[in-house]
Every structure is written in structure tokens, then in C-alpha cells.
């Protein structure tokens, strides 16, 4: 993929994540902070499908943005064909792994498998 | 002086004492990005503890409800606000907004893009991050 396309994705995921993370944080502030982290409250959040979908979207957006950012930083430090490929595929694998791990939590709690 | 002697490598690149506030913003952007990625990975792992049931979740909350973790969370809030505000400034700059009109480069060759508008943007990002951190500390320690 062209670097210009990757940067557009980087900026797009950033803007979308800012909006959704703001909603995610505001949900913590709709009640007392400690109360919002109680087991029953968190469980109810996960079981509310629109909120679970938003969490999944945040997970994907931040993983793509975060690991692409890490890739950019690592490519600034050192260059070389093998190094660049290793960094790009390594970041891609880490991104997929994190999305899979986070999705597992969201899906299992949403489906009542706790 | 040969080219090798003049080569500072990564040490030269990370030196924040040259090129003004823009270089500081460059480093803060990267450091805050790495910090936020580390927090994000930790947060995904932390929230997966809900799969251990009420006991596991309560144990986790007890572990993280300490002054040390509250300070870490406040730093994360500051990094998040700085990264967002400075990121929007960078995006606008890449889109050609606030970088001035192209003109003939004349001595002393001041880069048109490093103007007062972007400097204000960087300082605003730092101030807003500090304010958000204070708010975070008030919420976390005011329970």
C-alpha cells in the first residue's frame, strides 16, 4: 500500500477515535467514577449491544492507529529492505493479535459467557 | 571534518535543544504516542480480567485503585490531550492550513511553516494537557 494512503488511514482513524473515545470517557463520568467501574455496571455496558459495537470500533481504530504510529517511529530510526519488512509485518501481526484478544473479551462478555 | 565525524546519528536526531519548540513537539508527540500505545495494550489486558468473574474484577480494581496508578492515569490523560491537540495541528499543517504562502527563500531562511500560528498550537497543546491532567487528578483523588 502507498505511504500516502497509509497516512490518510492514520489520520482518519485518529479523528474517528477521538470522537468515540470522548463518548467512552463521558460514559465513565455520567456517574461517580468508582461506581462506573463496579462489576455489574461494566457487565451491563458490555451487554448493551450499541456500546459493545462502539468498544469494538474503538479497539480496531486505536490498534490500527497505534501500531501504524509505532511502525512510522521505527522506520524513522533505521532503514533497510529487510528491516522495513520485518517492522511492517511485525506491527501488522501485533495489531491483529491485539484486536483478536480485545474482541474475545467483548464477544464473550456480551454473550454472557462469564 | 569528514562526513563520518559530522554524523551524530540518533543522538543528533533526539537532541531537543535545537530547532526550537517544534523539535520538542516532535519528541512529545512520539513519546506520548508510545506511552498511549503501552497504556492501550495494558487497558485491553486489564479489562479482559472481567472474564475471571466478580472476584477477578474486584481484585484488579483493588490493585489499580492506588495513588501510584492514579498518577499514571493522570499522566495518560495529559499524553492523550497533548497527542490529540498536537495531532490536529500536524494534520492541519499537512493540509496546508496555517503554514503561510509559498515565497522565495531569503536570508535568514526562516521556514514559513514554523510560524506563530503553529507555535501557539504547540503551546496550547501543552497547556491543555496540563489542565486535563489537573482535572484527572481532581477526579481520581477526589473520590
Set out the domains of chain A in order of their start, with CATH numbers: 3-110 (1.20.1300)
> How many Å apart are CA B37 and CA B24, to the nearest integer?
20
* 8 Å CB contact between A110 and A52: yes
C-beta neighbour count of A62 within 10 angstroms? 25
Closest CA to B36 of B88, B98, B79: B79
Nearest-neighbour CA in chain B from A114: distance (Å): 5
pLDDT for B1 beyond 80: no
Architecture of the structural domain at B20-98+110-141: Up-down Bundle (1.20)
| A15 vs A18: CA distance, rounded Å | 5
Of A18, A32, A69, the CB nearest to B33: A69
- Phi/psi for B99 (5° steps) reads -100, 0
Mean pLDDT of A38-51: 94
Read off the pLDDT of residues B117-139 as tens digits, 9 standing for 90 and up.
899 999 999 999 999 999 999 98
pLDDT in tens, B41-94: 999 999 999 999 999 999 999 988 899 999 999 999 999 999 999 999 999 999
**Taking CB atoms and an 8 Å limit, are A108 and B51 in contact across chains?**
yes
Q: Does the beta carbon of A64 lie under 8 angstroms from any beta carbon of chain B?
A: no
- Cβ pair A66:B143 closer than 8 A: no
Neighbour tally for A66: CB within 10 Å: 24
DSSP summary character for residue B49: G
Q: Which of B50, B84, B91 sits opposite A105 (nearest CB)?
A: B50
Domain ranges of chain B: 20-98+110-141
Gap between the Cα atoms of A42 and A38, Å rounded:
6
pTM value?
0.91
Chain A: closest CA distance from residue B109 (Å): 25
Instruction: Check CB contact of A9 with chain B, cutoff 8 Å.
Output: no
Amino acid at each position: 500500500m502507498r505511504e500516502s494512503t497509509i497516512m490518510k488511514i492514520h489520520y482518519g482513524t485518529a479523528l474517528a477515535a477521538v470522537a468515540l473515545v470522548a463518548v467512552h470517557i463521558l460514559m465513565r463520568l455520567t456517574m461517580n467514577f468508582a461506581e462506573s467501574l463496579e462489576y455489574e455496571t461494566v457487565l451491563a455496558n458490555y451487554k448493551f449491544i450499541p456500546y459493545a459495537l462502539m468498544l469494538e470500533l474503538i479497539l480496531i481504530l486505536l490498534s490500527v492507529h497505534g501500531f501504524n504510529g509505532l511502525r512510522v517511529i521505527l522506520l524513522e530510526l533505521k532503514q533497510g529492505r529487510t528491516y522495513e519488512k520485518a517492522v511492517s509485518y511485525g506491527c501488522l501481526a501485533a495489531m491483529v493479535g491485539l484486536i483478536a484478544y480485545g474482541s474475545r473479551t467483548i464477544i464473550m462478555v456480551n454473550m454472557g459467557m462469564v | 571534518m569528514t562526513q563520518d565525524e559530522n554524523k551524530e546519528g540518533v543522538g543528533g536526531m533526539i537532541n531537543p535543544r535545537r530547532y526550537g519548540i517544534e523539535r520538542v513537539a516532535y519528541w512529545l508527540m512520539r513519546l506520548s504516542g508510545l506511552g498511549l500505545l503501552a497504556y492501550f495494550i495494558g487497558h485491553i489486558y486489564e479489562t479482559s480480567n472481567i472474564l475471571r468473574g466478580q472476584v477477578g474484577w474486584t481484585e484488579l480494581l483493588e490493585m489499580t485503585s492506588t495513588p501510584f496508578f492514579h498518577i499514571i492515569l493522570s499522566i495518560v490523560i495529559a499524553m492523550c490531550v497533548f497527542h490529540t491537540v498536537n495531532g490536529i495541528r500536524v494534520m492541519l499543517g499537512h493540509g496546508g492550513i496555517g503554514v503561510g504562502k509559498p515565497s522565495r527563500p531569503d536570508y535568514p531562511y526562516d521556514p514559513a511553516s514554523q510560524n506563530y500560528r503553529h507555535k501557539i498550537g504547540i503551546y496550547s497543546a501543552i497547556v491543555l494537557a496540563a489542565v486535563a491532567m489537573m482535572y484527572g487528578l481532581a477526579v481520581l483523588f477526589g473520590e
